[in-house]
Structure 1
């Protein structure tokens, strides 16, 4: 794993490590957010008690902070990239030297996985490419293998839960 970091990245990583005590493996940023990939097992330190470290870093850097826990297991790493959205299944295929990852998510979460104008999926491919050699991530929207018609309520993010309640109310009328 060979990552190229510029001076700004190195300074940002160093400051975040000092603030949190977590070991940072990689970092990327854009106009809206900074993403830190932390060593496996360091996610708790990176978040801090009650999210304090994330709040402090958000204030210090002036951008939203996303944290991803690294894993040597590519499938687990991909799940970590998209957390807290549940990725139901992950599988990989090699095409020559290219590693392509396929993820199955509930259809309700497809838009959140891809993001506005593909921003979330592009960021995920960038991070997974830098650290795991992934060339592309393909999203397959489908229901659970156990044929549940809906995800369990605790798995639905807050906004999705509201929209599912509206759909259920409409279905019951």
Structure 2
């Protein structure tokens, strides 16, 4: 488990997000390249974070003036990886290497491949950033069988 240092900006954004949605956030990544903020929310609070018909997440996006994305935290590394790629369906996950050199090899359904990568690679980038911060995973690769 890696040590996460929150910047002042992240702490402010987490506080705003929590007061707007009622969901607890444990980490936040500001992605200026894709004009978004990604929050790691507490397990079981996805419904609160999104809100009825997406109302909470829309309200947070408007207040923060950035696209808001949420990923549910899990102590279980495999489950956390699955959460990072939602709504794409992950078929298998294998690990290669040791310690800081560990690479997660993720296989998704063929029809979900584009979704897993995302426009301009933003979804795979999100997974790489979050896994590096939360679990010291050096890289994430999408594999094809």
Structure 1 unmatched runs, 5+: 143-173
Deviation of the 1:3 alpha carbon: 0.9
2:6 is paired with a residue whose SS is coil
Please tell me whether residue 62 in structure 1 is matched to residue 59 in structure 2: no
Q: Distance in 2 between matches of 1:2 and 1:96?
A: 14
> 2:105–2:141: 8 Å Cα contact kept in structure 1?
yes
In structure 1, what is the equivalent of residue 136 of structure 2? 133
Matches within 5 A, 1:113-128: 113-128=116-131
Structure 2 unmatched runs, 5+: none
Q: Distance in 1 between matches of 2:99 and 2:136?
A: 13
In structure 2, what is the equivalent of residue 150 of structure 1? none
Q: Higher relative contact order by CA 8 Å / sep ≥ 6: 1 or 2? A: 2
In structure 2, what is the equivalent of residue 15 of structure 1? 16
Structure 1 residues 97, 3: CA separation in 2 closer, same or farther (over 3 Å shift)?
Answer: closer
Query: What is the TM-score of this pair, normalised by structure 1?
Result: 0.75
> 1:46–1:54: 8 Å Cα contact kept in structure 2?
yes
Deviations 1:47-90 (A, max 9, x none): 11221110101111122111100001111000100101111111
> 1:25–1:37: 8 Å Cα contact kept in structure 2?
yes
Query: What is the TM-score of this pair, normalised by structure 2?
Result: 0.88
Q: Distance in 2 between matches of 1:135 and 1:94?
A: 9
In structure 1, what is the equivalent of residue 48 of structure 2? 45
Give the structure with higher Rg (CA): 1
> 2:100–2:137: 8 Å Cα contact kept in structure 1?
no
Deviation of the 1:97 alpha carbon: 4.1
Please tell me whether residue 33 in structure 1 is matched to residue 67 in structure 2: no
In structure 2, what is the equivalent of residue 98 of structure 1? 101
What count of residue pairs does the alignment treat as equivalent?
A: 142
> 1:75–1:91: 8 Å Cα contact kept in structure 2?
no
Q: Distance in 2 between matches of 1:96 and 1:8?
A: 30
Please tell me whether residue 75 in structure 1 is matched to residue 107 in structure 2: no
